[in-house]
Structure formats: C-alpha cells, structure tokens
C-alpha cells in the first residue's frame, strides 16, 4: 500500500555493490529464523514456508548476480508471498487450525 510500490515493481535498476552487501548480510541474519520452520508441528505448513524460502533464494541469487532488476525481484518475491499466504490460509481453512 506504499506510495512507492509501483516504483519498487517497475524500476529497471540493478542492485549496487553496497546494496548487495546489505542483502547478503540480511540473508545471513535470517538463516536462524528459517531453521525454525523445521520445528512447525504441521509438516504441510512447514513445507509451505520452506518452499517459499527456497524460491525466494533463487530470486535473491538472480538479483545478486544481476540477472534481474530490483523491480523484477520485488515482483517475483511479492507473487511468491501471495502464493504462500494463499496456501497457508487454504490449509488453515480446510483443517480448522487457529
């Protein structure tokens, strides 16, 4: 809902060296959080989470290698997030999980 959303999705800029360093540091810092998903009590939900991050990792690899623009990476990640959220909600609604 940000005023800058369209710019974030349409920019053709490639990641700079400084941004790449920051993204690499961010990814390293989130590795512990990702490991938590293996402890989810419902394997299907853990699978949704792990699948999302394996696909996002490909997006980040493509961004860091400058195969795609920042806008393309943002669009791809947004679409992956929407899919994962939909899968999670669908699972919850069909299995009566609170």
Q: Read off the pLDDT of residues 28-75 as tens digits, 9 standing for 90 and up.
A: 988 877 888 778 888 888 899 889 999 999 999 999 999 999 999 999
- Give dist(CA 89, CA 29) in Å, integer: 27
Please state the pTM of the whole predicted model: 0.85
pLDDT above 70 (res 98): no
Distance of CA 4 to the CA centre of its chain: 19
């Amino acid at each position: 809902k940000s005023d800058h959303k369209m710019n974030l999705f349409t920019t053709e800029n490639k990641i700079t060296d400084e941004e790449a360093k920051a993204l690499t540091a961010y990814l390293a810092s989130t590795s512990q959080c990702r490991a938590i998903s293996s402890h989810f009590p419902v394997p299907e939900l853990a699978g949704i989470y792990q699948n999302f991050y394996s696909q996002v990792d490909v997006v980040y690899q493509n961004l860091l290698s400058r195969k795609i623009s920042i806008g393309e990476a943002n669009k791809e990640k947004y679409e992956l997030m929407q899919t994962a959220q939909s899968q999670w909600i669908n699972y919850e609604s069909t299995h009566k999980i609170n």
